[in-house]
């Protein structure tokens, strides 16, 4: 009961303090990826110069990524508003078809699905830009201070009198950093492959904004389950406004799904191996739970947070069962020696 109460309070605190904890989590995630680069540079140059180069690299990568995301989604958004009347027509046709088969569609929804609704949605999205800029600014502040403190923090943890706590923190941090780097490497490779295939297929069938759809598929592939689904639905909806044949639209939808399924269900598990495997329930729960708490940023960071939690749980006997139950951890000492738990 005490554990449940504590967990509820922690979740409530993270939800209420999303503007603080979400950038902190993203900052720690970036630090885990960038610190090895700074550590290698420190071996061949002054620490201050290594820090400046590492932080500059982080800023350049983040700025480039955010700029490309804005370009792709901005182009698609402008295309959507230009074809808003066509979307309204398709929606009305679908509503009539469904109602003709006894499936009632909410009249209020039908009335609100209009050009006015689309423009109002654009205004709401534009109003959130300030929040997004604030998020990235706070995240970069955390990264700036964190990269300066990693070395000293490691030494302070190693000097703790409680050796068990020191071991859990140091080994858990090391294992988490290794897994997060591998997760990002594998996820990025699969996202690049997905984006290239989506772009090539869109160009082959003559779908407009092929480059934008490829990059959107690349970005959304970082969100397990939900991202590939959205990367399939969005271009299919636009294909419905471009092609008059519903058969062609259905074929495009099926081909996009085949691309996502082959990469996500066949290629990626064989590339990542067992080191990053988690229960599919935990992966799906991580995406929805953290997106509920922190929005789109939570959807991106949800799985890495679960990787970190399972990595730290594996470092202590009292919590090791959590890691063994929900993640695929290396064999225990008993398993390696060939003895069973009953023995």
Whether residue 290 contacts residue 282, with contact meaning beta carbons closer than 8 Å, is answered with no
Query: What is the rounded distance in angstroms from the CA atom of residue 142 to the CA atom of residue 217?
Result: 29
- Residue 307, pLDDT above cutoff 70: yes
What average pLDDT does the chain have? 81
Determine which of 99-108, 167-176, 250-259, 270-279 has the lowest per-residue pLDDT on average.
Answer: 99-108
- Residue 341, pLDDT above cutoff 50: no
Say what the pLDDT of residue 214 is. 92
Q: Where are the domains of the chain?
A: 17-158
pTM, entire model: 0.79
- Residue 20, pLDDT above cutoff 50: yes
Say what the pLDDT of residue 38 is. 93
Q: Classify residue 164 by burial, with Cβ atoms within 10 Å: 0-12, 13-18, 19+.
A: exposed
pLDDT digits (tens, 9 = 90+) for 93-102: 667 766 676 6
User: pLDDT band at residue 335, thresholds of 50, 70 and 90?
Assistant: very low
Whether residue 95 contacts residue 245, with contact meaning beta carbons closer than 8 Å, is answered with no
Ranges 84-93, 178-187, 263-272, 333-342, most confident: 178-187
Say what the pLDDT of residue 120 is. 58
* CA 59 to mean position of chain CA atoms: 19
Three-state secondary structure call for residue 278: strand
Whether residue 228 contacts residue 264, with contact meaning beta carbons closer than 8 Å, is answered with yes
pLDDT digits (tens, 9 = 90+) for 31-51: 999 999 999 999 899 999 999
User: pLDDT band at residue 106, thresholds of 50, 70 and 90?
Assistant: low
């Amino acid at each position: 009961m005490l554990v449940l109460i504590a967990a509820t309070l922690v979740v409530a605190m993270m939800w209420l303090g999303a503007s603080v904890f979400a950038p902190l989590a993203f900052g720690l995630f970036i630090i885990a990826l960038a610190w090895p680069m700074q550590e290698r540079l420190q071996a061949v140059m002054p620490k201050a110069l290594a820090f400046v180069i590492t932080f500059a690299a982080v800023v350049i990568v983040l700025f480039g990524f955010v700029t490309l995301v804005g370009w792709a989604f901005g182009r698609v958004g402008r295309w959507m508003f230009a074809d808003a009347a066509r979307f309204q027509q398709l929606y009305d046709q679908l509503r009539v078809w469904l109602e003709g088969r006894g499936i009632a569609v909410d009249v209020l929804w039908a009335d609100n699905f209009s050009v006015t609704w689309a423009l109002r949605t654009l205004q709401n999205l534009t109003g959130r830009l300030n929040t997004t800029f604030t998020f990235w600014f706070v995240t970069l502040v955390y990264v700036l201070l964190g990269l300066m403190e990693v070395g000293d923090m490691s030494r302070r943890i190693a000097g703790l009198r409680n050796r068990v706590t020191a071991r859990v923190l140091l080994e858990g941090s090391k294992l988490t950093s290794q897994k997060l780097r591998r997760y990002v490497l594998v996820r990025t490779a699969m996202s690049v492959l997905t984006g290239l295939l989506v772009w090539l297929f869109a160009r082959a069938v003559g779908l407009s904004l092929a480059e934008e759809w490829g990059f959107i598929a690349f970005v959304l592939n970082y969100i397990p389950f939900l991202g590939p689904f959205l990367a399939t639905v969005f271009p299919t909806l636009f294909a419905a406004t471009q092609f008059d044949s519903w058969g062609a639209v259905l074929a495009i939808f099926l081909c996009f799904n085949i691309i996502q399924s082959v990469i996500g269900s066949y290629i990626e598990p064989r590339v990542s191996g067992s080191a990053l495997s988690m229960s599919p329930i935990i992966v799906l729960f991580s995406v929805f739970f953290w997106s509920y708490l922190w929005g789109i940023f939570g959807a991106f960071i949800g799985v890495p947070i679960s990787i970190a939690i399972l990595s730290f749980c594996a470092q202590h006997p009292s919590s090791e069962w959590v890691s063994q139950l929900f993640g695929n951890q290396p064999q225990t000492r008993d398993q390696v020696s060939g003895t069973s738990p009953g023995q």
